[in-house]
Structure 1
């Protein structure tokens, strides 16, 4: 693979020239090594319950204006670095959607402040820094002014393989005073298939390029061998190169801002500020929990189905699996929170294994949107929550051989359960507006790539070679779940990055030249039903043009079951499905100015609007990479959020709006909500028949009463199923794994169902 000849490839363009002098270890504060600082910090926290033993915030109390000014200035520097550096990058994921983030850490590796963006990394970078400290990079590999380090190893501190961190140590005189970290989501990381959230990987060796806390440069310049490795290790070398410059440029901007701050306030004041900011973050978390949550124990469970018996490529993955993701949240009267996932299934032959650091990072993503949205977000919150991600489970495998390429499937399903635990706590306190039933489960609608035909590539002057990747982040707009007093947000939310949006169609098409988007449309009946409905999802339709050697796939949840169930009688959002049509007559239709499909509404109509040799309609929206030819069609959808409350309590006037805005169709409204009327599709006008609606709702309530059974009847029927293991292969896989993984959970299961001690599924 040839190297880009653009001046953008020159790492010297990311920073101004500086002179660096080596510093002899120890490089910590006051003559300490970094390991000594880390040991002391951990000891003081365990002994006192306060970060660094700070039971008082002296700087904040004595000079609150300076303290708040320093925090605002530091966070402003991080946001400024993000907003400036993203324009250094040409990766559309970074530039258009903002899939990047910058953090500042103490010398020991504790996060002090974080920019906007993919805030899941507020804690993941901390783990990588602490790994380098514990492995004594200070004396071995060396940590010097101007050094550059890189990590995307999930087992050491990251979310998934395509998140790549750049770390820059910040020295003042002869001491390491802080670390800067920039992370971007790459459009490609190599690996066994194209795409940035692969589903075919079953072990680490198929995941792609890994950097395991490597030193990749010194004197603010990247090593040539590292640059060559990146260029040869990914399918999109130009985007890799530019994203790396984005991260490095932002870290250098942060370093400059910190030097200026220290010059003004003094290094001792800066040091004190760093520690106090983390302790304040811990105190804020405790105060928010005490203020907004009701003490008690909350339990919910998430599930992630993996129906791969007939789909997976690798023999070991050709089975139906179900990941069990139970959550127990305990809140005490002092504002302390415990999060326990005892009973999670073991890791498996799939890319959905999730490192502990990924789970912890995701926790802060969700807490910042529920409890900490008006507080300081840093590792202080981490220290305020006791967590148990069981070792050897899918949420903490402790096994570097596993594939961690796409842990988001596990994260999304787990934190839907966390969301419901928090919402029950809010509701118990009377904070109805804070309740969120969950969210549409984001999955990458389409991924893959292909090559432009020579004639097409020559006609596009700005084309980036002949290979084009597929990784649009328009899937970041899913439906948000309803609250206890309002409907969810339609097609405008992503748990992993609440600032994200659809982005411009033109932006994606300038990247994925051979994949044209025919339409984006609201997908009716994806929103979860309820008195307050969930937000709606949407569907899109693509076709291939002017290309060859094209392979595409979809990572999609929910599939055959939900983890985003509603609350208080609300329904989950709809499951996903996919449609692919091969060898079509689209070109002939376009030439003859004949209509062609733009959606699959009503469901099942897409193939009726196009001629194709092969139509694949799959009730599981996730499909493995397959080949596509020009004019083939790919249809996909995003997820809707769950609802809250009994659908029969939803006002008919609201349902009139829902029908006219394509949220629901009239037949579903009558079936679920009992609202009857006439719909004029041409004028998009629905007229409610009030008398017929009253009668239909009465009938539904009567039908419910006829189907109702007592708890005792339900329990006995289900107990018989449990005794006989009367369930499908995926559920059998789940129970076998949980019983093997956790004796504690197995014992509790037997006790609940009144089973003998010898029972096993």
Structure 2
């Protein structure tokens, strides 16, 4: 914790409503924060609480207070979202509200984008440490705003509105509302930019600014924002949505304080956070087998032919290793030693965002029945190495698309925790991972009918395939790591704002689910057409693209990689006039090309930078499936028959992977299995495995020879050298494992 700003040479200021100190019992906020962190560090318990007295002595009142607080947060969210005009907020529910202690520790939060439980906390702690209490002033009716990722946020288009709550001159709590913006300005259109490499290209930043007082937003702030974003109406209504929700929650808390008294409410908040910490420890002790678990995810960055800026024109691979240590008493440590350094791309991720990702993962796999707050964050010891891509400590970098590092990381975490579940016998809790929610389509243009700009920022990617468990298949196109409520929205909702890009199709995409005894959830695909528009630019970012970010488990396969497909200068207008077929998908691959003539561009990359589109151009996009679990040859034939009939897999795929042979009647959607041919095919697959199998010792020696000779791809070489430069510890363990000399390097 840093020291507060020096106030020794300042004259005493008299604020309009309350003067410092505004903390509890005559303390400054900094004194409260320093005491809280010291007591927590010394005792291992939040604020040094010996026991949960209120919970033990008045359990009904305690639980009622938590239910009231959570209910107020959820009610405010469900009401405030109707203030917004953006389907991202109104339709998908991309907002969340949190209540914090005066020190900035989350007590409770609403549903929604719950990854922000700790990002708002960091912003509040920053304001306390920078002594806003004396310098800027923290008054009843003040309004603060932050979207600076280095201080407490996930990525630039997540914007926080933070409001203090006072009772008799004391700051009793904070409330924070966050929404995901359609546009934040920046060098290109869209809410997850690819082209930016530094902060100075990211768009509008608010660095824990005071943006209003007396419950009103400053006019100069409103003017600045209106001139900084491409969609000022959506920005304005989203801000009003956040502020309205914060004020609703503030009034609900004041009513609770009036009902039980300030002291009881203060005690309740502290105990609720400590209960959250205790709950995580008890869940870890109960459900995870002690030990050390290791896994890695990788984020490919194929920018050599795509990037605009010279320093970014290279193919890169980011290393995202995760080690999880579980002890017998419920302790859990999370370590990312060996993560790649930050780079010239938008995937850099601040420590606070990584902590938010850890928290949202914990709430889904371990804390679905406990108090959900910052207590669980306090219960985990973490190491996000300074100077790495997951904790750059450099505000000049671009953090616009931090999810590109965050989501692959927690695929590795989920697999580690799942191994702990399995070892304890909780097979149903195993999850092999998920398909990352990249942005399949972004951009914008001018709609010629109204002569207005329209954004292209659909949030359909909030529905993807969830990985399989150890007892069941994954969820088809119905999961998002950051918002498990998962709703892709209606086609009509997106067309209301994306006027110049009507849908031609949206359907499940076969062969995207990871194979296994239990298959992963399936993905989907869509096709849209530019119409009645000008100055249209679109781009795509879907993960995984040229490489897998994660694999399956226990013999299961990874989910399918994604690709890019579009058509320019097409004959679709003529096809409409003649009532000829037009593309409604690309399954199997190549079907798209059969129903359109024009300049068809297909790439194995799941991304491309902004490209110009003309009327009647088509863009295809898709979302991935989840990884599989177990040997595909152990999957029952009856299940495979259902997979084909339901469009999960094509007959060709189930024959090559599962060894199931049959005839498929597309009209009746009936797959008839040839049992004799299936038996022969499975015997053939097993024989091929035996012929291709290699002993571990032989495999190790062949791979060691490759490594010692530097026989790796250029992106992998870039990755290793970057990690070697910033982590001697990881470099030494790598050399030891491969029995390499201490001076070994991949540099030529």
- TM-score normalised by the chain length of structure 2: 0.97
The whole-number CA distance in structure 2 between the counterparts of 1:37 and 1:468 is: 47
Q: 2:563 aligns with which of 565, 570, 577?
A: 577
Aligned to 1:565: 551
Q: 1:660 aligns with which of 641, 645, 660?
A: 645
Q: Does 1:331 align with 2:323?
A: no
Aligned to 1:14: none
For structure 2, which runs of at least 5 residues remain unmatched after alignment?
1-14
Aligned to 2:6: none
Q: Is the CA contact 1:112–1:278 (under 8 Å) kept in the aligned structure 2?
A: yes
Q: Does 1:532 align with 2:518?
A: yes
Aligned to 2:597: 611
The whole-number CA distance in structure 1 between the counterparts of 2:79 and 2:567 is: 43
> RMSD value over aligned CA atoms?
0.8
DSSP-derived class of the 1:404 partner: coil
Q: Does 1:167 align with 2:162?
A: yes
Aligned to 2:504: 518
Q: 1:724 aligns with which of 709, 712, 717?
A: 709
Q: Is the CA contact 2:296–2:550 (under 8 Å) kept in the aligned structure 1?
A: no
Aligned to 2:475: 489
Aligned to 1:195: 190
Q: 2:723 aligns with which of 705, 729, 738?
A: 738
Q: 1:262 aligns with which of 254, 257, 264?
A: 257
Runs ≥4 in structure 1, deviation > 6 angstroms? none
Q: Which sits farther off after the overlay, 603-612 or 220-229?
A: 603-612
Q: Does 1:675 align with 2:667?
A: no
The whole-number CA distance in structure 1 between the counterparts of 2:561 and 2:513 is: 10
Matches within 5 A, 1:386-465: 386-453=381-448, 456-457=449-450
Aligned to 2:740: 755
Matches within 5 A, 1:462-481: 466-481=452-467
Aligned to 1:137: 132
Aligned to 1:552: 538
The whole-number CA distance in structure 2 between the counterparts of 1:441 and 1:529 is: 17
The CA deviation string for residues 552-584 of structure 1, in whole angstroms up to 9 with x for no partner, is 001110011112210000000100011111011
Aligned to 1:9: none
The CA deviation string for residues 679-703 of structure 1, in whole angstroms up to 9 with x for no partner, is 1122111011112111211111111
Aligned length: 732
Q: Does 1:686 align with 2:650?
A: no
Once the two structures are TM-superposed, the CA of residue 729 in structure 1 deviates from its matched residue by 1.0
Q: Which sits farther off after the overlay, 148-157 or 558-567?
A: 558-567
Q: Is the CA contact 1:202–1:403 (under 8 Å) kept in the aligned structure 2?
A: yes
The whole-number CA distance in structure 2 between the counterparts of 1:522 and 1:378 is: 36
DSSP-derived class of the 2:440 partner: coil
Once the two structures are TM-superposed, the CA of residue 261 in structure 1 deviates from its matched residue by 0.4
Aligned to 2:87: 92
Q: Is the CA contact 1:21–1:145 (under 8 Å) kept in the aligned structure 2?
A: no
DSSP-derived class of the 1:155 partner: helix
Matches within 5 A, 1:147-226: 147-226=142-221
Q: Is the CA contact 1:488–1:641 (under 8 Å) kept in the aligned structure 2?
A: yes
Q: Is the CA contact 1:321–1:731 (under 8 Å) kept in the aligned structure 2?
A: yes
Aligned to 1:308: 303
Aligned to 2:635: 650
Q: Does 1:345 align with 2:334?
A: no
DSSP-derived class of the 1:179 partner: strand
Q: Is the CA contact 2:516–2:557 (under 8 Å) kept in the aligned structure 1?
A: yes
DSSP-derived class of the 2:75 partner: helix
DSSP-derived class of the 1:282 partner: helix
The whole-number CA distance in structure 2 between the counterparts of 1:570 and 1:698 is: 19
Q: Is the CA contact 1:92–1:507 (under 8 Å) kept in the aligned structure 2?
A: yes
The CA deviation string for residues 612-639 of structure 1, in whole angstroms up to 9 with x for no partner, is 1x22101111111000000001001101
Matches within 5 A, 1:369-388: 369-388=364-383
Q: 2:55 aligns with which of 53, 57, 60?
A: 60
The whole-number CA distance in structure 1 between the counterparts of 2:666 and 2:578 is: 28
Q: Which sits farther off after the overlay, 354-363 or 578-587?
A: 578-587
Q: Which sits farther off after the overlay, 565-574 or 589-598?
A: 589-598
DSSP-derived class of the 1:225 partner: helix
The whole-number CA distance in structure 2 between the counterparts of 1:654 and 1:291 is: 33
Q: 1:356 aligns with which of 334, 341, 351?
A: 351
Q: Is the CA contact 1:441–1:564 (under 8 Å) kept in the aligned structure 2?
A: no
The CA deviation string for residues 655-678 of structure 1, in whole angstroms up to 9 with x for no partner, is 111001110011110100011111
Aligned to 1:272: 267
Q: 1:284 aligns with which of 279, 282, 285?
A: 279
The CA deviation string for residues 187-238 of structure 1, in whole angstroms up to 9 with x for no partner, is 0000000000001110000000000000000000000100001100000000
Q: Is the CA contact 1:564–1:641 (under 8 Å) kept in the aligned structure 2?
A: no
The whole-number CA distance in structure 2 between the counterparts of 1:757 and 1:114 is: 50
DSSP-derived class of the 1:303 partner: strand
Once the two structures are TM-superposed, the CA of residue 550 in structure 1 deviates from its matched residue by 0.2
Aligned to 2:700: 715
Q: Is the CA contact 1:523–1:662 (under 8 Å) kept in the aligned structure 2?
A: yes
The whole-number CA distance in structure 1 between the counterparts of 2:302 and 2:239 is: 37
DSSP-derived class of the 1:441 partner: coil
The whole-number CA distance in structure 1 between the counterparts of 2:577 and 2:679 is: 52
Q: Does 1:507 align with 2:493?
A: yes
Aligned to 1:72: 67
- TM-score normalised by the chain length of structure 1: 0.96
Q: Does 1:602 align with 2:591?
A: no
Q: Is the CA contact 2:287–2:420 (under 8 Å) kept in the aligned structure 1?
A: yes
Q: Is the CA contact 2:97–2:246 (under 8 Å) kept in the aligned structure 1?
A: yes
Once the two structures are TM-superposed, the CA of residue 605 in structure 1 deviates from its matched residue by 2.2
Q: Is the CA contact 2:433–2:627 (under 8 Å) kept in the aligned structure 1?
A: yes
DSSP-derived class of the 1:353 partner: coil
Q: Is the CA contact 2:195–2:346 (under 8 Å) kept in the aligned structure 1?
A: yes
The whole-number CA distance in structure 2 between the counterparts of 1:502 and 1:132 is: 36
Q: Does 1:35 align with 2:21?
A: no
DSSP-derived class of the 1:672 partner: helix
DSSP-derived class of the 2:276 partner: helix
Once the two structures are TM-superposed, the CA of residue 21 in structure 1 deviates from its matched residue by 5.7
The whole-number CA distance in structure 1 between the counterparts of 2:428 and 2:573 is: 51
Aligned to 1:83: 78
Once the two structures are TM-superposed, the CA of residue 653 in structure 1 deviates from its matched residue by 0.6
Q: 1:252 aligns with which of 247, 252, 264?
A: 247
Q: Is the CA contact 1:98–1:500 (under 8 Å) kept in the aligned structure 2?
A: no
